[in-house]
Chains A and B, each alone.
Chain A
Amino acid sequence: MSRSGARWGAALVVAALLAGAVAGCGAKEGGGSDAGSGTTQKEPYRVGVVVSLTGTYAGLGIPEKKAIELQRDAINANGGVNGHPIEVIFEDDATDPAKAAAAASKLIEQDGVLAIIGATGTAQTMAMRAEVQRAGVPQVSMAGGSVITDQLDPLVFQTPWPNRIVVPFVLKAMARKGLTKVAVISDSGGYGKDGHAIIVKEAPAAGVTIVADETFNPGDTDMSSQLTKIRAAKPDAVLMWNAGKEAALIAKGMKQLGMTQPLFGGPGNGRKEFIQGAGDGAEGFRFAAGKILVPSAYGTDTEAYKVATEFIDSYTAKYGESPDIFAGHAYDAFLIVVDALKRIEGDATPAKLRDAIEQTKGLVGVGGTFTYSPQDHNGLTESELVLYRVENGAWVLDEQ
């Protein structure tokens, strides 16, 4: 039995760090490539998808993967795109930016994909940028950070409503309800940090004063210290900005500390696991997101309603649960790529596909109607958003 004090301790710390790194690798899921059931003879079009199937954003990435598999099968069953079946190669980034970059590199170098859909998260999306730039492959992200399309790149497009659209929408809704002294709690990861910067910038214009400003790290399991500081600041309401499982801890923690202030959030909190995890704490929680959660919000006579209900019905039939907003973002990303591929004459190349994606016009998806331009790679507006409230464990439209 060897116990040589400090050196042994140092070795253990190194081992601990290795354990973290190795365990992370262990969680990686091999990217399986499944061709669809196309019956055509033409060369398949290959599309890479980088999603978080493990880690903090697993709850977002898994419905995204399901939605894309569903659409791929539907398109291939109908003869593919211009006679080409679509082959989708999935990679798990484990909610890790470095792994997202590696996955993009693998998809480009080994699989020769025409486009990459991904990633699930903002930091992971940004980490892939160098790879797509080097190879000139278009990327359609399913993450909501503003930075993705604020730092405009000719190759990078985005399907969710970015924070620059959602944050002012939520702040204005709070001000309308007379909740002007607001405490903010955001995660220090990519999406929370991105949202936090916009909250601070947009609050004065919306007539909102920030009276407390707290942060937490992805994976934290206790929020009571942050919430105690927030409680001491006596805000009218609390606004949280994050997209992971920590949201439930905040809602529960507020209830535990006897805080009765209304809690607000963004699209990242539109998850059933949040309601299950927060229990009673979720009641009355308000958040902004697109209309997929209560499709009547589209207006029942609209094209968007038809598109969304078709998607909801086929998703529910296949998976036995209704799609959430993340499934919707993935549906839109896949739709945008397929629509652009259809418009390409002759065989598709990444460069032709990029140009075709940028020419997307009036394309009705579930997150909104997409019109891209060389200056706008998101193409959505505030009109795609509604405010929801959790009532008896379900989402209802908040009076607007």
Chain B
Amino acid sequence: MSMSSADVLQFVASGLQNGAIYALMALGFTLVFASTGIINFAQGEFFMLGGMLAAAGMAAGVPLGVSVLAAVAATTLVGCLVERLALRPARSAGGLALVIITIGCSMLIKSGARHLFGPDERALPAFTAGEPLSVGGALIEPQAVWVLVLALAAAVGLTVLYRWTKMGLAMRACSISHDAARIVGVDTARVVMLSFGLAGALGALAGAVVAPITQTAYDVGARMGLKGFAAALLGGLGDPVGAIVGGFVLGLLESGAVAVVSGTYKDAVALVVLLVVLVLRPQGILGRHLGEKL
């Protein structure tokens, strides 16, 4: 079987589309890691909530745009609540206990969604109707453009927030040292809650924007959580640019694995590359040696 250049471009397009979603997820992981030093295993459930709440809103007769925005807002609130109600009271218990608490939260959110929405998959209409666009022979659905544009917008917005706002400065300060940040007057508790809220918003945005392409269900979170976590590790935990790079690299890797090996081994190929990268560069592709900062 011979591949034309249009086919190769199609693989790239598919890799970029999935990569954009992984990047949003990885950003969620990275934000929480930067401000708390823990991995939030409820991140995948934020993704699920974005899609499921938007679909539920649509089913209740709310217009699509409002449903999606409301889903993102509601999940942001869920992110804040996870921090405020589950993690903050146990703050002194140490990293591993907090990670386990996030696993508990993810189970709670998933079971809740199953009871609320039932076990069936839900469909969401595309944000804009229309025929696929042809780019160099590769056909790209309008929704895939939405995925890329929103992921990019979120990445730019986050970078602006992180680099050039006072809140961003506080977040960066927290990622270096909580104690030092507190001494110079940073409200660290607020920063941590904000990072969970943003992680919720990013996950929900990813879940809602991809649902028209993939459908959604109460149980899609765990899988996407692992992908996002892998992307964050690949790019370098704690580094927003690394998260985006890691997401796209993982998406392209998976697409390439299907092209040259087989769909059955897609996940395996991506994980093997992840392991190799982590052995050669434990800090991830763009991650700095953590020691440098201290």
Contact = CB atoms under 8 A, between A and B. Distances in A.
B7 A248 contact: no
Instruction: Classify chain A's interface size.
Output: 35 or more
B131 to A, nearest CB: 9
Contact of A225 (B4, B141, B259): B259
B134 to A, nearest CB: 8
A324 interface: no
B293 to A, nearest CB: 10
A26 B110 contact: yes
A98 interface: no
Contacts of B100: 15
B233 interface: yes
B81 interface: no
Given A217-B267, A232-B1, A258-B132, A15 B99 contact: yes
A251 B13 CA distance: 18
Given A54-B114, A256-B141, A276 B123 contact: yes
A156 B3 CA distance: 46
**SS of A interface (majority):** helix
A310 B115 CA distance: 31
Given A1-B36, A225-B258, A22 B107 contact: yes
Given A3-B290, A226-B263, A54 B219 contact: yes
A222 B267 CA distance: 12
A312 interface: no
A273 interface: yes
A253 to B, nearest CB: 9
A15 B110 contact: no
A5 B14 CA distance: 33
B139 to A, nearest CB: 5
A257 B10 contact: yes
B119 A19 contact: no
Interface string A33-75: 0000000000000000000011100110010000000000000
Contacts of B139: 256-258
A16 B226 contact: yes
A224 interface: yes
A14 to B, nearest CB: 10
B1 A229 contact: yes
Contacts of B41: 15-16, 19
A229 B4 CA distance: 10
A12 interface: yes
Contacts of B255: 225
A232 B2 contact: yes
Given A23-B110, A54-B119, A59-B120, A222 B222 contact: no
Interface string B156-172: 00000000000000000
A27 B95 contact: no
B106 A19 contact: yes
A59 B119 CA distance: 8
B37 A2 contact: yes
B38 to A, nearest CB: 9
B184 to A, nearest CB: 17
Interface stretch (A82-90, A208-216, A291-299): A208-216
A245 interface: yes
Contact of A3 (B37, B226, B233): B37
A62 B223 CA distance: 23
A137 B201 CA distance: 51
A215 B266 CA distance: 10
A5 B290 contact: yes
A188 interface: yes
B87 interface: no
Counting from the closest, the 5 A-B pairs by CB-CB distance are: A225-B258, A1-B37, A58-B119, A221-B214, A224-B14
Given A15-B99, A16-B229, A20-B222, 7 more contacts: A1-B95, A54-B119, A215-B263, A224-B13, A225-B15, A232-B4, A256-B139
5 contacts: A9-B282, A15-B41, A23-B107, A229-B259, A277-B121
